[in-house]
Structure 1
């Protein structure tokens, strides 16, 4: 029967990091993954360029991880985003900083990151088994002691690291297998929900595909509560789709939509096309341009302000004829149009499925995890890292930072624990 110091289940960002950290402790490590390729999530992240971390200050990073980001303060005191950068540079992967602190490999190729991690595993003699499913994790006397594979092979270990991801992007192997193993060890799984996911709407203009494919740049998108007050606002780009709304601002707002839909049947999203101008300023500036060109149609005067399709859409909503001139334009309808530029709301009724989400919300409750070690408080020798934990952030290098940091600590401490046990 095979026996290892540490078994790491899952070959995503957190699993690769955990296997390396355990190997660096001198532990005999097995990395097992049900897919045929390790690092599949890394290979598709950042549009195939791999956004490995973010260089913003720690407080900012934690602010961008609205799902239990504060739990990571202890972890960051052990290993943080700057340590991730040094770690990759030691492996020969030079990184560069782009907008909003996002860090990418200079090569612009995710594969160079994956290859560097795989080379390091090889140097550390980590045993890798791909295309092999784990049926269950074995526990004895409140301690993790190994696994059983789908072929009913029993493999024993001094410690087990569960790094199998959540339920999003299932084609990379994240199909939620780990929740059952965690529950078997006495852990609570908080409710799972999609985050960083497009939202759906049955508004007539969505169903008629009036604005399908139209992108709006740098808008302020707000999720409104029952009373019409903003719960959250994100200023970024967005896009209208055939089923609803998508794009960076929408993805960031999506988890708040999910939470609000528990309180109300549909949720309104408010689009502010000109977040840097007050409504009255916008009214005065547009009105001045119209007055200065009295013979021009309102459409020709105002089309420089926004995409023509959106302009015509708002005109139609406010019964403005695009060919009329300023002299015939009713002040009430014009006021109403300006209000729509600032406060157009779209009623949304859901999101795409968890499988279509970029990130899973919910997971193994962080209250039951040692924040400095990523060790289970319920079962000795059991460690969790990455997206299986109830931690979720926005896109932009935040989830991957969480995965790499928690992976590092899980592997490091699993290695120390199992070697300590072996020496007893």
Structure 2
């Protein structure tokens, strides 16, 4: 029986420990927090969107960075197998809009509990409040880990599943990047991802708290379109957030660090420009003796009306029957292209995940083993892998954790 050391008690680390132990290995899991799954606890606003029930093609399409690298691990442990795994542990699940999978209880703590119970059942040694200072190798092979108190724990293999750099209060402080560099690995530039965006326009503050559903967002760099999708968004005191915006941030982050970008919101994507113009004309007909400012109740939520009036250039007190065709069509164009300037992303403390990490060129995609040091494996967010919202990033954690745990164990049998 070999001894496998797992660093990090998050999603990937717990999954790796389970599968290493199921394959008959002695497993020791080190977690510097006082409990396991601290970041998992807050995912999905505490509900834990643990995977996505889409088909494999859509699963891979949701990956933003290094999609091809994940073919082996995704097919080796699919989203269906993830759901079966949790069902076997006694977790009841449900599938919601967008194929998002949640525990029936809506409590992320239930996901953590079934994993903890399985780890204990498998006699995994849980070393909580135990910080690893460095990972040691000798002659290109893993040797052991040195703890912060100076103790060295030897092992046959090590799985680094320390997470990224986001939500640092949960313990994700980039330790894994340091371990990787010390072992000779390249760590790509890291940046916040799935993160809210700041906008330049002052009217953002006027819209604070407004949630828009069924809108289409596009992000442009000059004439070049960087992102386009349909969904929900939210205005905040600094800018914009919500699922649509968070996913956009993962595609535009690098370009945004170079210069501001344009965000264009189609408030009525189900209508063409001509249909939008006809709809406004119909509303105006119903309100022909009213002032412009009092005729828009059916078109927009109340918070948005003042901003749209201001941007339209039409006098708020003007009677609707006095508005010219040109003014009306400009207004239709505004509704189909409500534009603002994105200046930057928010920081790591508001980012759901980290973009960048240990270069996957130096990792075996089938096993998650380092190509630099035999017996060292990586799993989860510490790697240069990320996806959009919807349970996809946790599926990366489960699949790479499964591969690392299973393959580390196989090497030791």
On whether the aligned pair clears a TM of 0.5, the verdict is yes
Write the mapping of 1:25-424 to structure 2, written as runs, cut at 5 A: 25-206=23-204, 209-227=205-223, 229-263=224-258, 265-419=259-413
How far residue 30 of structure 1 moved from its aligned partner, in angstroms, is 0.4
| Residues 257 and 350, structure 1, Cα contact 8 Å, conserved in 2 | no
C-alpha offsets along residues 285-322 of structure 1, whole Å, 9 cap, x if unaligned? Answer: 21123124422333443311111221221111223233
Give the TM-score of the pair, scaled to structure 2.
Answer: 0.96
| Residues 381 and 418, structure 1, Cα contact 8 Å, conserved in 2 | no
| Residues 12 and 164, structure 1, Cα contact 8 Å, conserved in 2 | yes
Q: 1:23 aligns with which of 14, 21, 24?
A: 21
How far residue 354 of structure 1 moved from its aligned partner, in angstroms, is 2.0
C-alpha offsets along residues 125-151 of structure 1, whole Å, 9 cap, x if unaligned? Answer: 111100111000001110111100000
The 3-state SS of whatever aligns with 1:346 is strand
Counterparts of 1:119 and 1:204 in 2: how far apart (Å)?
50
| Residues 197 and 241, structure 2, Cα contact 8 Å, conserved in 1 | yes
The 3-state SS of whatever aligns with 1:114 is helix
Counterparts of 1:48 and 1:152 in 2: how far apart (Å)?
36
How far residue 332 of structure 1 moved from its aligned partner, in angstroms, is 2.5
Greater Cα offset, 96-105 or 147-156: 96-105
Aligned residues: 413
Corresponding residue for 1:422?
A: none
| Residues 223 and 256, structure 1, Cα contact 8 Å, conserved in 2 | no
Greater Cα offset, 324-333 or 181-190: 324-333
Counterparts of 1:97 and 1:255 in 2: how far apart (Å)?
24
C-alpha offsets along residues 179-232 of structure 1, whole Å, 9 cap, x if unaligned? Answer: 1111122211111011100111232323xx2222222222111110122x3211
| Residues 198 and 250, structure 1, Cα contact 8 Å, conserved in 2 | yes
| Residues 239 and 246, structure 1, Cα contact 8 Å, conserved in 2 | yes
C-alpha offsets along residues 240-285 of structure 1, whole Å, 9 cap, x if unaligned? Answer: 211111111111111233122244x211111110111111210122
The 3-state SS of whatever aligns with 2:65 is coil
Counterparts of 1:211 and 1:262 in 2: how far apart (Å)?
25
C-alpha offsets along residues 356-382 of structure 1, whole Å, 9 cap, x if unaligned? Answer: 210100001111111111111111001
| Residues 168 and 348, structure 2, Cα contact 8 Å, conserved in 1 | no
Give the TM-score of the pair, scaled to structure 1.
Answer: 0.94
Superposition CA RMSD, Å: 1.6
Unaligned runs of 5+ in 2: none
